[in-house]
């Protein structure tokens, strides 16, 4: 008799079993209706929302169901290596939405966080929500929100384990495993943030047993950089300003900076955490001008609650990492937004 493959020994912590089982059962009952699944992610996509949605879509397809990830924006260049184009569709461009579908939100829980896809999420009566952002307080049979789990991808991995148990099928194939591992790695800052738990590392190992490989994930997400992006980042770093006795570091990027260098929208994605890690800095704020809105990203150490600040500006996130965006209205500029942040943070850090 052949020995059992290592991945078959995977076992999740007991504290996750009830929630993972509940969502897995919900998935099975939604699927039995024959409705296809449409997965929804937050705007300004990151490794975790793409990892959890694509991994989950792959698992659902491996169960024999129709499942696609609705995208309102292109997949960033740093995630192209994962090879998930066939799992994505773009309702704004193709418009081909099924008339009836199960809307499955991962790494976010509200239509308002999903950009132009939000209306499609809200339009479905059949919703499943798996999220680890605690800025929203909603509960329900088909909702699993747990701020203590490292990532939505870790939650989706547990749900998928339950689905394997319920169906007796091997559902988490190497591509699904790689997607989940991408979410675990990026939301924990390569397993360095305080949301890294023993089970996060165990799950990462189990995903490797199933064919995932952390090397390309870390290379493409952290090490690889376009030369144009590097040059733009160097200029923005020169312009960083410090306030509140050095406790607030703030960087501002104009559209003209992107144009000057031919930089991509990911050009300074590393900057919020780079600035937060500077000696004496409690809070870093990176303000970016984009074509349709102004994006604000916050990172902090132990002394500032980014989630609360972002929430008060209709955004969301985690205690140490959060963000929001501001619409251009009545001549509002990136300079106005930045000034207002300096003033508001100045009062909070006084």
Footprint of Mn ion (CB under 5 A): 48, 107, 151-152, 187
Our CB check for Mn ion shows the closer of 35 and 133 to be: 133
With residue 38 as reference, give the H or E element that holds it.
Answer: strand 37-40
Pick between residue 41 and residue 248 the one whose CB is nearest to Mn ion.
41
- Residue 144, beta-bridge partner list: 130
Task: Point out the residue whose Cβ comes nearest to Mn ion.
Answer: 48
CA dist., res. 98 & res. 289, Å (int): 35
What would the two tokens of residue 14 be?
């007991």
Q: How far is CA 110 from CA 40, 117, 186, 249, in A?
A: 10, 11, 22, 30
Pick the closer one to Mn ion by CB: 39 or 337: 39
- Residue 27 CB, nearest approach to Mn ion (Å): 20
Instruction: Give the list of residues 6+ apart from residue 232 with CB closer than 8 angstroms, or none.
Output: 253, 257, 258, 260, 261, 263, 267, 268
Nearer to Mn ion, 31 or 307 (CB): 307
What is the length of the chain? 350
Using DSSP's 3-state secondary structure scheme, residue 99 falls into coil
Q: Which residue lies nearer to Mn ion by CB, 30 or 107?
A: 107
Minimum distance of Mn ion from residue 80's CB (angstroms): 20
Run of H or E including 283: strand 283-289
User: Cα-atom radius of gyration of the chain, to the nearest Å?
Assistant: 20
Least CB distance to Mn ion at residue 184 (A):
10
Nearest residue to 322 (alpha-carbon basis) of 339, 304, 299: 299
**Pair 41, 69: CB distance under 8 Å:** yes
Spatial CA neighbour of 72 closest among 98, 50, 57, 56: 50
Minimal distance, residue 346 CB to Mn ion, in Å: 30
d(CA 110, CA 27): 19
What backbone torsions phi and psi does residue 333 show, to the nearest 5 degrees?
-115, 170
* Nearest distance, CB of residue 234 and Mn ion, angstroms: 29
DSSP 81: G
Judged by beta carbon, residue 35 or residue 42, the one nearer Mn ion is 42
Nearer to Mn ion, 191 or 254 (CB): 191
Residue number with CB closer to Mn ion (48 or 206): 48
Least Å from the CB of residue 51 to Mn ion = 9
What is the nearest approach in angstroms of Mn ion to the Cβ of residue 180? Answer: 12
Residue whose CB is less far from Mn ion, 30 or 187: 187
CB of 105 to Mn ion, least distance (A): 12
Taking the complex as a whole, the smallest distance from the CB of residue 151 to Mn ion amounts, in Å, to: 5
For residue 285, give Cα distances in angstroms to 159, 253, 303: 35, 11, 14
Residue 219 half-sphere exposure, CB side, CA atoms within 13 Å? Answer: 7
């Amino acid at each position: 008799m052949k020995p059992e493959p290592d991945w078959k020994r995977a076992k999740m912590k007991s504290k996750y079993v009830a929630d993972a089982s509940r969502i897995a059962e919900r998935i099975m009952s939604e699927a039995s209706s024959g409705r296809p699944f449409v997965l929804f992610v937050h705007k300004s996509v990151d490794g975790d929302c793409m990892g959890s949605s694509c991994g989950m879509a792959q698992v659902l397809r491996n169960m024999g169901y129709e499942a696609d990830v609705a995208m309102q924006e292109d997949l960033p260049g740093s995630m192209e290596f994962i090879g998930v184009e066939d799992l994505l569709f773009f309702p704004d461009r193709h418009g081909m939405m099924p008339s009836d579908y199960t809307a499955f939100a991962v790494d976010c829980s509200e239509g308002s966080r999903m950009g132009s896809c939000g209306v499609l999420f809200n339009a479905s009566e059949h919703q499943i929500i798996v999220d680890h952002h605690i800025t929203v307080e909603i509960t329900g049979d088909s909702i699993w929100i747990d701020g203590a789990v490292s990532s939505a991808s870790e939650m989706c991995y547990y749900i998928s384990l339950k689905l394997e148990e319920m169906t007796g099928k091997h559902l988490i194939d190497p591509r699904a495993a790689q997607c989940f591992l991408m979410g675990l790695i990026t939301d924990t800052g390569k397993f360095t943030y305080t949301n890294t738990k023993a089970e996060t590392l165990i799950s990462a190992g189990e995903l490797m047993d199933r064919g995932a490989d952390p090397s390309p994930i870390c290379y493409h997400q952290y090490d690889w950089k376009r030369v144009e992006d590097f040059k733009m980042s160097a200029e923005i770093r020169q312009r960083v300003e410090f306030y509140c006795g050095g406790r607030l570091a703030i960087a501002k990027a104009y559209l003209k900076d992107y144009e000057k260098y031919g930089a991509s929208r990911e050009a300074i994605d590393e900057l919020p955490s780079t600035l937060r890690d500077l000696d004496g800095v409690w809070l870093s704020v990176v303000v970016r001008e984009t074509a349709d809105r102004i994006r604000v990203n916050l990172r902090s150490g132990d002394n500032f609650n980014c989630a609360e600040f972002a929430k008060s500006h209709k955004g969301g996130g985690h205690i140490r990492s959060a963000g929001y965006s501001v619409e251009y209205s009545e001549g509002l500029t990136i300079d106005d937004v930045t000034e207002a942040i300096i003033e508001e943070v100045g009062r909070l850090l006084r």
